[in-house]
Amino acid sequence: MPKILSEAAVESFRDRLCHVAEGLFAAHGPDGVTMRELAQALGVSQMTPYRYFKDKDAILAAVRTRAFNRFAAAMENSNRQSLAKRVPESKNKKSGLNAPENVYLDFALENPAAYRLMFDVSQPTFGAYPELVKAMDRARLTMGDGLRRLAAQGRFKGNVPLTAHVFWSALHGAVMLELVGLLAHSGLDARKIANAALQALVKQFGVA
């Protein structure tokens, strides 16, 4: 008879499985990893992962859910800190977006496996996983927090969702250039490219 595990034990193993799966999926792609290989990496029997997840797709969804939530939490914390430290508008010469943008780059460059599974993997079945959808929406909302705040202050008159996605695209493009090695020997890195792109976009979109 299978051992009855406590809720804490189940969650602990799920976390460990997801940690191992994140690295393997990022290195080989989800299609390049089997449940047998996941079990071997964990040092458990081939059938053990099935006690915790229906299949590999469910594991991928759980890994991506955790990554999106970690990313969103980092961005939300940065936004809260920005609000707490906000200086009077007359003294604030920046757009108010700089800290969250730095956190975006920090997360992406310090957690490349998680970042690539979040934004560089196609999972057509994502809609079947409500927790993943919720985490994706949470992360997406953080990208517009600064602009929504500026719009509420009357300092930005443009289309918030569109502009947020344009800024997001600039950050993502710079990150991916570095992660795939296309900036090697160029004298450039993701931060230099992102900062230049965002400065230009701030002027283009009239962010005060």
For the chain, give every domain's residue range: 7-205
Instruction: Identify the band that residue 208 occupies on the pLDDT scale cut at 50, 70 and 90.
Output: low
- The answer to whether 196 touches 171, Cβ cutoff 8 Å, is no
User: Could you tell me the pTM of the whole model?
Assistant: 0.87
What pLDDT score does 101 carry? Answer: 82
The pLDDT score that the predictor gives to residue 41 is: 96
| 7-205 to CATH, choices 3.40.50.300, 1.10.357.10, 1.10.3210.10, 1.25.40.20 | 1.10.357.10
∠ Cα 152 174 26 (to 5°): 110
Report the distance separating Cα 156 and Cα 95, nearest Å: 10
Query: Is pLDDT above 60 for 162?
Result: yes
User: So what's the pLDDT on residue 89?
Assistant: 43
Mean pLDDT across 48-64: 96
113 neighbors 60 (Cβ within 8 angstroms): no
| 178, 187 contact by CB (below 8 A) | no
Chain center to CA of 101: 12
Helix (DSSP H) and strand (DSSP E) numbers for the chain: 9, 0
Q: Is the pLDDT of residue 2 over 80?
A: no
Residue 140 to residue 132: CA distance in whole angstroms: 12
Cα–Cα dist 146/38, whole Å:
40
Residues 6+ apart with CB under 8 A from 83: 149
DSSP 122: -
